[in-house]
Amino acid sequence: MASLETASPALEVLRRVFGYDTFRGEQGAIVEHVAGGGDALVLMPTGGGKSLCYQIPSLVRPGVGIVISPLIALMQDQVDALNALGVRAGFLNSSQDFEERRLTEAMYQAGELDLLYLAPERLRVPATLDLLDRGRIALFAIDEAHCVAQWGHDFRPDYLGLSELHERWPKVPRIALTATATKATHAEIASRLNLDDARHFVASFDRPNIQYRIVPKAEPKKQLLDLLRTEHKGDAGIVYCLSRSSVEKTAEFLVANGIDAVPYHAGLDSRTRAENQARFLREDGLIVVATIAFGMGIDKPDVRFVAHLDLPKSVEGYYQETGRAGRDGLPSTAWLAYGLQDVVQQRKLIEQSEGDDAHRRRQSQHLDAMLALCETVECRRVQLLAYFGQESTACGNCDTCLTPPESWDGTIAAQKLLSAIYRLQRERRQKFGAGQVIDILLGRKTAKVIQHDHDTLTVFGIGEELSESGWRGVVRQLLAQGLLAVEGDYGTLVLTDASASVLRKERTVLLRREKVTKASAKPAKKAAVDMPEEAAPVFERLRAWRAATAKEQGVPAYVIFHDATLREIATSSPQTLEELGRVSGVGENKLAKYGQQVLDTLNA
Ligand code: ADP
Ligand code: ZN
């Protein structure tokens, strides 16, 4: 903090308006650069603190900061949060009626705004461009900048038009921000937005407060319930499922078990969807069970866990979804249950997907990278960060670091499995799914085994040393290692080119040992947030006050104060307004507005 001690205007705004002492990471450098009129391309993980990077320069520079964001549904909350800080903000999007729009436009022209949020499609309308000309523009912030990348997963055609901003207003600085960027996306953003002269700020993609855990899937709903009960009682969180029906069933299951949960997927009518999202943002401790349709730009800072009941399609998707946990920097959990069926299902989806072979190959590569992450015996974080081109060392806060998996020599098991498949294929010209192959290995005389005369195969009963779930683990791991493949609607197992080297005993196969029997292997250190015992009831009182206040004002609870701020208040128990003002997250405006109420709540 010493180097910034000169109290630049930016630092002064950070302290007075936002109530924070110091900039985080590269924030300070970014803010100074943009405030000084420079262009910037900012790659920072979710929760890294991107908003301040354009909000503070907008406040420091003369004129209005124009923020382009595709997240129309969130604009109201963003503006409410800024207003609560005493910042003059407005938005223009299709959700408004004429009168609301006119009012905002008038404020813009009169220079009565610090920030104006716009949906990208607004800029296609000449009237909007003319309007912007009638006011003074402090800067353009292009949020979710990866939406300009045509090969990315969130492409929005309207973003392509944003390259014109520079032509029309060459002197206005631009800052593009995103939390998702592999090297290719990064380069595409820079070129499509004509940000050639921009300074690039690439923050570490690490989210140290998120604990990554990937467990073998046995009874996923029960495993989830166990996780919620033991580690995340009363916490807000997101549960991702692949299909609408599993979303519905999982939400019902949680509710039936006394846990507050609502569903969210594209099949629900838009009112229910909006209502469930609003409840999630506004209430404390609600769980949303959702397909991936939910979450883009969910700004809620206190999401304590993200759970995946199905395998995500790519590491990028997984990282973005899990990134919604713990934006406030407090300990959070990313938990994924994954099983053989996931691999079969995903391969099937890829086979059936529209598009050409190149497209399918790309999807396959994405899946392979995801499987490699699931099956790794090394630190999950090291592997995740490596995927984004960042080197790191074992983190100590993921399941493989906390309870290192044992590996075992699975060469013989692999040979047995592959030769069973080989025999079926060669001797019988048959292909079967994992279930039948495992029954054969275990020597089970099921109706289907007898019907196909499989008990006469030489491989019948040669695999009794492993249990059924043990074999499923072997199948899954061979699939992940490319030593086996699945095809067709029924997920039949087939050999790959690489299988031959195992069958010819030319290579050894290392597998990770897993304990499938227990619902959830408990990590050595749980991710839940700890607080001194005496502070807990105070924190709850403050939460109750916050809930009531938020309800009264019709804003999300975090707009009043973040959990992290309430926690610090509960532990430090300030006695005067001045002491309260020193707590991180208590700025001038909030101190004036809520300070006395907070002190009263503390002393109640
Ligand atoms: P992003 O947009 O990158 O996901 P946000 O801008 O929403 O991240 O910031 C994440 C959280 O970190 C917010 O709760 C924000 O108030 C907090 N935050 C950002 N910068 C700072 C800072 N310098 N000091 C303390 N808290 C900060
Ligand atoms: Zn680790």
Q: Give DSSP secondary structure letters for 142-180.
A: E-SGGGG-TTSSS--GGGGGGGHHHHH-TTS-EEEEES-
How far CA 66 is from CA of 117, 303, 596, 601, in Å, comes to: 6, 28, 35, 38
* Ligand showing the shortest atom-to-Cα distance for residue 400: 2
Q: What average pLDDT score do residues 469-490 get?
A: 88
Question: Quick count: other Cβ atoms within 10 Å of Cβ 359?
Answer: 12
Residue with tokens 């790794």: 376
Residue 304 pLDDT grade (very low, low, confident, very high; cuts 50, 70, 90): very high
CA 385 to ligand 2 centroid distance, Å: 11
User: Domains of the chain by range and CATH?
Assistant: 9-202 (3.40.50.300), 210-402 (3.40.50.300), 407-512 (1.10.10.10), 533-602 (1.10.150.80)
pLDDT over 50 (residue 411): yes
Residue 6 pLDDT grade (very low, low, confident, very high; cuts 50, 70, 90): low
Question: What mean pLDDT value characterizes the chain?
Answer: 90
**Which position has the higher pLDDT, 181 or 321?**
321
Residue 320 pLDDT grade (very low, low, confident, very high; cuts 50, 70, 90): confident
Nearest CA to ligand 1 atom 18: 49
Taking only the tens place, the pLDDT of each residue in 381-398 is: 999 999 888 899 999 999
Q: Where does 489-534 have alpha helices with state H?
A: 499-503
CA 27 to ligand 1 centroid distance, Å: 10
* Ligand showing the shortest atom-to-Cα distance for residue 401: 2
CA 324 to ligand 2 centroid distance, Å: 19
- Choosing from 12, 51, 209, 582 the residue with most ligand 1 atoms within 8 A of its CB, the one to mutate for a pocket test is 51
- Choosing from 13, 14, 22, 24 the residue with most ligand 1 atoms within 8 A of its CB, the one to mutate for a pocket test is 24
> What does the pLDDT read at residue 527?
46
Atom of ligand 1 nearest to the CA of 53: 6
* Ligand showing the shortest atom-to-Cα distance for residue 42: 1
Atom of ligand 1 nearest to the CA of 20: 24
Taking only the tens place, the pLDDT of each residue in 105-132 is: 999 999 999 999 999 999 888 999 999 9
pLDDT over 90 (residue 196): no
Instruction: Say what the pTM is.
Output: 0.81
CA 396 to ligand 2 centroid distance, Å: 5
Ligand 1 binding residues, C-beta < 6 A: 20, 23-24, 27, 44, 46-52, 299, 301, 327-328, 562, 584
Closest C-alpha to 307, from 375, 227, 399, 379:
227
Closest C-alpha to 313, from 262, 360, 249, 382:
360
Taking only the tens place, the pLDDT of each residue in 262-273 is: 999 989 998 998
- Choosing from 8, 22, 31, 52 the residue with most ligand 1 atoms within 8 A of its CB, the one to mutate for a pocket test is 52
C-alpha radius of gyration, the chain, whole number: 27
Nearest CA to ligand 1 atom 19: 49
Cβ–Cβ < 8 Å for 483, 499? yes
CA 280 to ligand 1 centroid distance, Å: 19
> What does the pLDDT read at residue 107?
96
Atom of ligand 1 nearest to the CA of 558: 14
pLDDT over 70 (residue 539): yes
> What does the pLDDT read at residue 181?
66
> What does the pLDDT read at residue 71?
82
pLDDT over 50 (residue 3): no
